[in-house]
């Protein structure tokens, strides 16, 4: 369930009500225009086109390693990558950021390395650390961020899968009885690197970004069938990373204090679990929840308008087609905003309302 940030505790981040109206309208219009739905997931060249148990292994490893790609070298982070920032070339195209990790995994698979097989990536004998370093090798001088943490979380998760779940994440899915909330519980209680939580004003807040995006990627890839079928998928929140908050600020859906803006502009490190960081992440979750509620209201208005028009339409009027009732949940809004942020990164960093991503090093996002 999304957490509702107690605003009075927020010193650095707030959610302007008029900003939500403005942002939700813009996002809704853009999502309608692009017919944004789960079918978009497979369109990215690096995402798998087949949906089977091997795809589940692939998604598990990708979301196990789906953290911390911001570069120490590419300070401006405009989307036009600094030539020396970590980059992986696959099928002739250079990838940076999140996609660089995915490209490295796909490259290893094409080199015949069973990198997505848990009993393989669990084992220092079968897959020595040096070989993992080679798999994530860069075209440039900058190494993949947090390489040692990536190796550590692979060993830990691989061993848990082998020892407790028959070596496949499909067995975790089977235990969850098509419940996303149950699967979050299985993942966060068995795999410590997914246990993304913090203390905020004396309360424990469970953000669980990678556990939730793991479920979202399964749901989107399998289009709510088979290993991706979840009856309570709408309980999943947006994924509190460092890219979507930047876009939410751009859409006026987040407001930052002068002190936070200065920290971001200077590229200062913000510790994982610090009030500043938890406020950015917690308010992002709540802002997307408010955007979702606003979009549902806009859809309702549209349907009612169409119905009125249809009732009063005379034969001479053109036939009105009911609007595509979009399924809108926090996942689709998040995926849309993230894809938008990547496409509009130059505007987000250099445009009329520029802001940098917050720089926290952690295995959680």
Ligand X SMILES: Nc1nc2c(c(CN[C@H]3C=C[C@H](O)[C@@H]3O)cn2[C@@H]2O[C@H](COP(=O)(O)O)[C@@H](O)[C@H]2O)c(=O)[nH]1
- Dig out the tokens for 157 from the structure: 């998760």
Strand ranges, E, within the chain? 13-14, 88-90, 93-95, 197-200, 203-206, 255-256
* Structure-token match 């943490």, residue found: 149
CA distance 185 to 271: 26
Reduced 3-state DSSP string for 52-63:
CHHHHHHHHHHH
- Dig out the tokens for 339 from the structure: 């894809």
* Residue 281 Cβ vs ligand X, minimum distance, rounded to whole Å: 10
CA distance 119 to 32: 43
**Other CB atoms within 10 A of residue 317 CB:** 10
Q: Which residues contact ligand X by CB under 6 A?
A: 41, 44, 47, 66-67, 69-70, 97-98, 239, 241-244, 334-335, 338-339, 365
DSSP string, 327-363: ---HHHHHHHHHHHHHHTHHHHHHSSS--PPPB---S
* Residue 255 Cβ vs ligand X, minimum distance, rounded to whole Å: 20
Smaller CB distance to ligand X: residue 256 or 365?
Answer: 365
Query: Do residues 98 and 335 touch, judged by C-beta distance below 8 A?
Result: no
Q: Decide if 196 is catalytic.
A: no
- State the catalytic residue, choosing from 57, 196, 241, 334: 241
* Residue 288 Cβ vs ligand X, minimum distance, rounded to whole Å: 9
Smaller CB distance to ligand X: residue 69 or 222?
Answer: 69
Smaller CB distance to ligand X: residue 98 or 219?
Answer: 98
At a CB cut-off of 8 Å and minimum separation 6, what does 98 contact?
Answer: 66, 69
Helix pair angle (17-33, 275-312), 10° resolution:
60
Strand 197-200 to 203-206 pairing: antiparallel
User: Residues with catalytic annotation?
Assistant: 241
């Amino acid at each position: 369930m999304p957490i509702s940030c107690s605003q009075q505790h927020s010193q650095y981040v707030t959610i302007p009500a008029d900003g939500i109206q403005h942002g939700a309208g813009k996002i809704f219009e853009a999502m309608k225009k692009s017919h944004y739905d789960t079918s978009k997931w497979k369109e990215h060249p690096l995402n798998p086109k087949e949906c089977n148990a091997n795809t589940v292994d692939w998604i598990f490893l990708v979301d196990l390693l789906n953290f911390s790609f911001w570069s120490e070298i590419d300070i401006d982070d405009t989307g036009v990558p600094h030539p020396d920032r970590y980059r992986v070339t696959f099928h002739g195209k250079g990838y940076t950021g999140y996609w660089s990790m995915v490209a490295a995994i796909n490259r290893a698979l094409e080199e015949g390395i069973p990198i997505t097989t848990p009993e393989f990536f669990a084992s220092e004998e079968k897959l020595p650390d040096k070989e993992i370093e080679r798999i994530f090798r860069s075209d440039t001088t900058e190494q993949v961020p947090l390489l040692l943490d990536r190796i550590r979380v692979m060993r830990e998760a691989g061993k848990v899968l082998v020892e407790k779940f028959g070596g496949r994440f499909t067995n975790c899915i089977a235990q969850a009885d098509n419940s996303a909330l149950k699967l979050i519980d299985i993942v966060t209680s068995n795999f410590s690197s997914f246990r993304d939580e913090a203390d905020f004003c004396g309360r424990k807040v469970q953000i669980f970004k990678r556990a939730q995006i793991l479920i979202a990627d399964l749901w989107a890839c399998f289009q709510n069938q088979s290993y991706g079928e979840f009856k309570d998928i709408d309980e999943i929140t947006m994924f509190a990373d460092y890219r979507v908050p930047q876009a939410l600020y751009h859409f006026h859906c987040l407001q930052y204090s002068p002190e936070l803006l200065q920290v971001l502009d200077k590229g200062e490190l913000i510790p994982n679990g610090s009030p500043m960081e938890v406020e950015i992440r917690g308010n992002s979750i709540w802002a997307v929840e408010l955007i979702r509620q606003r979009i549902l209201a806009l859809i309702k208005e549209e349907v009612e308008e169409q119905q009125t028009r249809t009732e009063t339409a005379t034969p001479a009027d053109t036939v009105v087609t009911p609007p595509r009732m979009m399924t809108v949940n926090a996942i689709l809004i998040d995926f849309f905003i993230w894809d938008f942020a990547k496409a509009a990164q130059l505007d987000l960093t250099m445009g009329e309302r520029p802001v940098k991503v917050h720089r926290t090093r952690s295995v959680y996002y």
